Amino acid sequence: MKCLFKPLVDCLRLSVYALALCPFGFVSAPHSLQAPHLLGKKSKTESAVKVHIRSKLHYFQLIKDRLSENRRRLFPSTCFGPWLDLNYFENDESLIHYMLQNQIKSDDAHYDLPLIYDVNGHHLHFGRRQFHLITGFKFGMPSFRKFRTGDIIFRDHVFPEKVGVNLKAIDLLCLIEEDEYFIKLSDEDAVRVCLLLSAQVIFMGREMLSVVDDVYLRMVENVENWNDFHWGEHIWLSLGGTHLTFTMFSKEGW
């Protein structure tokens, strides 16, 4: 029975995570997409928009395909490991669009910084607890103090041409896609590259040309430090901080 329900669980998991990311990305309108009347009641405002999801969860399939059997055993032992088993990568844009049109203003002073949706007269809250339930990531007080200074051993070893130059997310992706060089990496370094791409692009929704912060490069050298870090709190705050509103451009105003 478990295998029968897994695609449905993956779909729900993906849609909820995408819904959490949407307000912190952007909603644009190059094409028309009308909100469905899922609950038999029209939303207060309807706009022709196209939802653009910044997080790229489909890269987990690429990571899984590129990792050797031994590396596939190593990656699941990390805090991001369970996501490697994700089998469904399609976002339900109609559902997400409907929910976004029913998002209401959140109190920025509230500790939980929740996303709140008014659906058929009921307020649905999506905050830290719900984000932890979906991702499994730790919450607490994230600190980069011990990673702000020191040598960047991983970068100097794996990307020697980037010493003194910013390492970008696209460099991580290119390395994973380059079979000849990726195979030559040690199993541990290959997993480190995948962890960095997962954090930067998949979970935090950064663009491919974004710079990978040196603190991540120092942290990933010790996978135990990486696993112990409070990624839930850090990613939750990185997705929006106190800015829990999204911008919708009407088709006429695009």
- Mark whether 27 and 150 lie in a shared domain: no
Please report whether residue 173 resides in a domain: yes
- How many domains is the chain partitioned into structurally? 2
Q: CA dihedral in degrees (100, 102, 108, 110; nearest 10)?
A: -110
Band of pLDDT at residue 9, cut at 50, 70 and 90: very low
Contacts of 168 (CB under 8 A, 6+ apart): 208, 209, 210, 211, 212
> pLDDT tens digits, residue range 159-195?
999 998 999 999 999 999 998 999 999 999 999 999 9
Q: Does the residue 235 lie in any domain?
A: no
The answer to whether residue 106 sits within a structural domain is: yes
Domain co-membership, 131 together with 29: yes
The reply to whether 182 and 64 lie within a common domain is: yes
Average pLDDT of every residue of the chain: 77
User: Predicted confidence band at 31 (pLDDT cuts at 50, 70, 90)?
Assistant: very low
If asked whether residues 108 and 72 sit together in one domain, one would say no
104 inside domain: yes
For residues 222-242, average pLDDT? 85
* Whether 33 and 100 share a structural domain: yes
Q: Are residues 120 and 222 in the same domain?
A: no
218 and 253 share one domain: no
Same domain, 152 and 212: yes
Residues 39 and 60 both lie in one domain: no
Flag whether 11 is in a domain. yes
Q: Is residue 236 part of a domain?
A: no
Does 66 reside within a domain? Answer: yes
In a domain, 237, yes or no: no
Give yes or no for residue 35 having a pLDDT over 70.
no
Residue with tokens 């000849």, as numbered in its chain:
180
This prediction's pTM: 0.77
pLDDT at 115: 82
Please check whether residues 104 and 176 belong to one and the same domain.
no
Do 67 and 193 lie in one domain? The reply is: yes
Taking the C-alpha atoms of residue 201 and residue 212, their distance in angstroms, rounded to an integer, is 10
Shared domain check, 155 and 99: no
Q: Report yes or no: 87 and 60 within 8 Å, Cβ to Cβ.
A: no
| Domain region containing 70 | 55-89+143-229
